[in-house]
Amino acid sequence: MKITIFGVGYVGLVQAAVFADVGHDVCCVDVDAVKIEGLQVGTIPIYESGLESLVEAGVTSSRLHFTTDLKEGVAHAQVYFIAVGTPPDEDGSADLRYVLSVAETIAQGMDGEAIIVNKSTVPVGTGDKVRARVESVLQERGVNIPFSVVSNPEFLKEGSALADCARPERIIIGTDSPYAEEVMREIYAPFSRNREKMLVMDQRSAEFTKYAANCMLATKISFMNEMANLAECMSADIEQVRRGIGSDSRIGYSFIYPGCGYGGSCFPKDVQALARSAGEYGYNAAILSAVEETNARQKEKIFKYIVQHYGVENIRGKTLALWGLSFKPDTDDMREAPSRVLLEALWQAGAKVHAYDPEAMEEAQRIYGYRSDLTLMGTKEAVLQGADALLIVTEWKHFRVPDFELLQSSLADRVIFDGRNLYDPQSVEQLGLAYYGIGRGR
Ligand code: UGA
């Protein structure tokens, strides 16, 4: 089937590559000429395992192509996916400018029955705004072309985006049009072969499902971080508590890992946007505000331990080794990353940082290249040389089993601040190193 996708960000590009892989003929449109030119010659703007070869295969088979020409995109198909960004406004609500401008572009060019599918995360009611915008353009054009608007939110995670997209747990379709439903079933048939994964519902419920899912996951994390902080007050070990509660199948083990806060481009933005929308409806979503507040506090946690250990006046002049910069493993994304809050607090207190991350070094250079109190180094061992203490903020796999003897001999102050609970406090302390984890009874 012919499909056009507007926006080659994370969601648009991954979805396009996966659609092309199952045989659809996909045209990707973006106004960013640098990005499109790069993609035409195989330069992938994001780090995502397997994506480069999938895009290459799509281009080679001619089922995937990239253009900045909006008209060409509209002419290519009659099914249009909108996957452009919805950055937060100053007040935290989602900015719909790009979504509505794509809707307008489609309306200006379409000449047969069209299906406009919204994949971007958009506030409840956006589908109605898209419909109104398209209708008004068609009216201006003086034509009467039938069209449907569908909400089809995306649930992929950075770092496992291809697998999530190729083997989705559910496909949410929000529409009241039987024709649109039939076309969406055809498009997604290759992904729903062994088990019916498609859930068809009304458009607003589909839009809301996306926010409810992300807010539920963020709530689990903030709840666990709150429990970790309480465990600390009560001299209990949250890691044992985590296993204890996760074994209850109603609770489950996933998304209950305490840490130094959630980051990324989704949870912070979506929790904020839903809280804000709630306010517009005159409803005080107290849980969402608490989730956000707990997370902001949690991002300050490692710095608090450092202050507790050294005394705030003794941080000046320290050199601290930092493992991990990205907001989570398997990505180079540093948006809303806990590492940023920590770095800024350390600099403010007069410390220097030696940092290493397996993928986010370029990104860190782009954001903080101007800082003389940050040195980016090529290996996890290099940052230990001449450092006083080790800080861990991202749970990359190869941080899990470090050379403890090297840590002991390199770190002048023999102390580890672990924001992801990677190690067993007792074993580390037996090696002669002080250890601070999250919620581990200190
Ligand atoms: C999230 C959702 O998981 C996806 O389903 C959704 O599609 C996506 O947002 C989106 O809306 O686009 P993502 O932001 O890529 O995906 O990352 P997650 O793997 O969900 O991690 C988010 C944050 O939570 C990370 O900072 C991670 O370190 C933190 N986290 C996660 C914890 O602190 N504890 C946990 O137990 C799990």
Please give the order of strands across the beta sheet that includes 352-356.
374-376, 352-356, 319-323, 389-392, 415-418, 434-436
Angle at 360 between CA 331 and CA 437, to 5 degrees: 80
Q: Which two tokens stand for residue 287?
A: 């849980």
Residue 218's closest CA among 296, 121, 159, 325?
A: 296
Domain count, the chain: 3
Q: Confirm whether 125 is domain-assigned.
A: yes
Q: Confirm whether 442 is domain-assigned.
A: no
Residue 180 has pLDDT above 70, yes or no: yes
Q: What is the mean pLDDT of residues 315-341?
A: 97
Q: Which two tokens stand for residue 195?
A: 């088990």
What is residue 220's predicted lDDT score, i.e. its pLDDT?
98
What's the CA gap between 411 and 320, in Å, rounded?
Answer: 9
What's the CA gap between 99 and 127, in Å, rounded?
Answer: 10
What CATH number should be reported for the domain holding residue 235?
A: 1.10.1040.10
Q: Whose CA is nearest to atom 12 of ligand 1?
A: 266
Q: Confirm whether 305 is domain-assigned.
A: yes
Which DSSP letter does residue 437 get?
-
What is residue 442's predicted lDDT score, i.e. its pLDDT?
60
Residue 314 has pLDDT above 70, yes or no: yes
The predicted-structure confidence for 106-126, as pLDDT tens digits, reads as follows 999 999 999 999 999 999 999
What does the mean pLDDT of the chain come to?
Answer: 96
Q: What is the mean pLDDT of residues 6-16?
A: 96
Q: Is residue 65 within a helix (H) or strand (E), and if so which, with residue range? A: strand 64-67
Q: Using a 6 Å cutoff on CB, does residue 327 contact ligand 1?
A: yes
Catalytic-role residue among 27, 28, 165, 266: 266
With contact defined as beta carbons under 8 Å apart, do 96 and 129 qualify? yes
Q: Confirm whether 341 is domain-assigned.
A: yes
Burial call 176-205: b when 16+ CB within 10 Å, e when fewer: ebeebbebbeebbeebeeeeeebebbebee
What CATH number should be reported for the domain holding residue 314?
A: 3.40.50.720
Q: Are residues 46 and 181 in the same domain?
A: yes
Q: Confirm whether 281 is domain-assigned.
A: yes
Q: Are residues 186 and 327 in the same domain?
A: no
Looking at the DSSP bridge assignments, the partners of residue 198 are 171
Q: Are residues 291 and 330 in the same domain?
A: no
Share of the chain above pLDDT 90, in %: 95
Q: Is 266 a catalytic residue?
A: yes
Predicted confidence band of residue 77 (pLDDT cuts 50, 70, 90): very high
Q: Confirm whether 264 is domain-assigned.
A: yes
Ligand-binding site membership of 259 (annotated): yes
Q: Are residues 96 and 193 in the same domain?
A: yes
Q: Are residues 260 and 387 in the same domain?
A: no
Query: Sign of the C-alpha dihedral, residues 223, 224, 229, 234?
Result: positive
Q: What is the pTM of this model?
A: 0.94
Domain end call among 296, 324, 350: 296
pLDDT greater at residue 168 or residue 93: 168
Ligand-binding site membership of 338 (annotated): no
What is the domain extent for residue 185?
A: 2-201
Residue 194 has pLDDT above 80, yes or no: no
What is residue 126's predicted lDDT score, i.e. its pLDDT?
96
- Ligand 1 centroid from CA 271, angstroms: 12
What's the CA gap between 226 and 63, in Å, rounded?
Answer: 48
- Ligand 1 centroid from CA 218, angstroms: 8
What is residue 88's predicted lDDT score, i.e. its pLDDT?
81
Q: What is the mean pLDDT of residues 221-230?
A: 98
